[in-house]
Amino acid sequence: MKKRLIKVVLSCTVIVGGLTVNSCSKSSSSKNTSRATGWKINAKEGGFQYNTDFKEQETAPGLVFVEGGTFTKGKVQDDVMHDWNNTPTSQHVQSFYMDETEVTNVMYLEYLDYLKSVYPPENPKYTNIYVGALPDTLVWRNRLGFNETMTNNYLRHPAYAEYPVVGVNWIQATQFAEWRTDRVNEVMLEREGYLSEDAKYQAATGEVQGTFSTEAYLNRPESVYNGQIDSLQGKMKKDSTSAFAKRSSGIIMPEYRLPTETEWEYAAQAQVGQREYNNYRGRKKYPWEGDYTRNGQRVGRGDQLANFKQGKGDYGGIAGWSDDGADITAEVMSYKPNDLGLYDMAGNVAEWVADVYRPIVDDEVSDFNYYRGNIYMKSAIGEDGKVKVLKDSIAFDTLPNGKVIAVNLPGEIKMVPVDEEETYLRTNFSSSDNRGYRDGDPGSSRFYDRFSDDEEQDDKKKMYNSPKHSVARDSAGNLIKGYDSSNNRTTLINDEVRVYKGGSWRDRAYWLDPAQRRYLPQYMATDYIGFRCAMSRVGSKSKTKNKTVRGKKAK
């Protein structure tokens, strides 16, 4: 007699309050089942919705992945300037992304053309938005040199399109990065169907009033494009539950920004090539291996590895023989990249980084993602309880050199400093502005206990007693200059002075060392300082594809 097999199907799910619950005691390996509660996630019956399909952050346009790690920031050799401002410290950097090359003239022109189209300078309300973003082409002039060709042509002539942009101050560089963030995220939203294919172009050409701001979209999506986003939505509009992307959607890219000094130096050193002991201890002299600036390999032997000033009156070598291929800047990618695939991390142009300058790196406080310059802000909340979006109000700031720049653009979120609601009884920060923490602010000054009520006397005692120039405009628009001619000033260092790294076409080989550091007021520009952008990596430290994690194959 054959035994009859009866297949019994046990149901492990029940519906509780409209949510699907896994009632089996044995945990499920399904990615759509909660390991915390056993409840189903993203069930058709309803319930909690989470993005369980996210793999890893993709590499945004123009960037190269840099895996983080430990390195020695600063140097113990070649301090011929006796600045004592790059004492070696052991630091750890999280993984991040960095521009493959410096930002070029054609990239910056795209930014200028966008501003000119969306905020026409003929409109008096918008004039200073465009004018404030223009690079200073007069940086090429020299009292005893003929450089008018570069003054007139370097930014806009197609012959210089792929050359690094110069004449850009630190503030302009950070504003370019903010603009770039919004433009890239528009592309991402269009690709995923949250915006229509022509949305970004309609805004750029003025067919639609207003523009796109990433943070405004995430906080109040109905406000972007001046409230006209309904007509610019893509195929996702049909799904009412996901008409707008959220941060949890995983497609919004983190912001483009200037790299921190620590990130820039780590990327320039590029220690991934050879793990030699001296390199790890901070003795790697250049972004390439070896102690010389010429190529020692069989192919290309004797060629210069960077664009720099080789000696007095020698900006490129003897023509046709030892020439490095450039006299001023050079086209990007003219020289070999370092082991991370980054070009011109030595020579061509020096580069702005995000940090406020101080002679000493305070590694006693932080040896992880070290950065001096934090100013913590938060979104302003209106009377309706919603985040405030700036519409017609544009705030401008007049810099000490008289240049007028836009602090915010229409359509952006209004930001305000954090207050006691965020700082009370915290141990990790106690104020919004931390640029001078432990080194330069009144509370950290060595003479703090002797401060008086006399401001002039206090200025003599402060650690960083820098000039306080001021400028304003009268009702007729004329500049009222307040030049500080005090004899009591003892330094140029203050919270508005930023670090720039790397050698340039004007610098000797000494400055090609990634550890060397210099500073300049953030409102000033030169013909030898450019910049490149960086982006933080979210999630895993390394790209896990085809790698193993603790002996197990990564999923």
Handedness of CA 307, 310, 315, 320 (dihedral sign): negative
Residues 14-66: tens digit of each pLDDT: 554 555 545 554 444 577 888 888 888 887 766 677 888 888 899 999 999 99
Residue 518, pLDDT above cutoff 80: yes
Question: Average pLDDT for residues 507-515, to the nearest whole number?
Answer: 91
Q: What is the pLDDT of residue 503?
A: 93
> For tokens 């430990």, what's the residue?
70
Identify each DSSP E strand in 285-440 by its residue range: 350-356, 377-379, 396-398, 404-406, 415-417
Question: Which pair of structure tokens corresponds to residue 42?
Answer: 């993203």
Contact 67, 341 (CB under 8 A): no
Q: Indicate the pLDDT class of residue 469, thresholds 50, 70 and 90.
A: confident
Residue 12, pLDDT above cutoff 70: no
Q: What is the pLDDT of residue 463?
A: 63
Residue 532, pLDDT above cutoff 50: yes
Residue 484, pLDDT above cutoff 90: no
Residue 489, pLDDT above cutoff 70: yes
Q: What is the pLDDT of residue 79?
A: 76
The three-state secondary structure class of 145 is strand
> For tokens 């009632």, what's the residue?
23
Q: What is the pLDDT of residue 6?
A: 42
Least confident among 123-137, 222-236, 319-333, 446-460: 446-460
When comparing pLDDT for 524 and 321, which is higher? Answer: 524
Residue 100, pLDDT above cutoff 80: yes
Residue 217, pLDDT above cutoff 80: yes
Q: One-letter amino acid identity for 175?
A: Q
Q: Indicate the pLDDT class of residue 3, thresholds 50, 70 and 90.
A: very low
Q: Indicate the pLDDT class of residue 493, thresholds 50, 70 and 90.
A: confident
First-to-last alpha carbon distance for the chain, in angstroms, is: 49
Residue 226, pLDDT above cutoff 80: yes
CA distances from 88 to 91, 263, 286, 368, 396 (A): 9, 15, 16, 15, 40
Q: Indicate the pLDDT class of residue 301, thresholds 50, 70 and 90.
A: confident
Q: What is the pLDDT of residue 141?
A: 96
Question: Average pLDDT for residues 210-225, to the nearest whole number?
Answer: 92
Q: What is the pLDDT of residue 369?
A: 94
Residues 358-379: tens digit of each pLDDT: 988 888 889 999 999 999 999 9
- pLDDT mean across residues, the chain: 84
The three-state secondary structure class of 238 is helix
The three-state secondary structure class of 365 is coil
**Cα angle vertex 336, ends 330, 337, to 5°?**
100
For β-strands 63-66 and 552-553, DSSP reports them as: unpaired
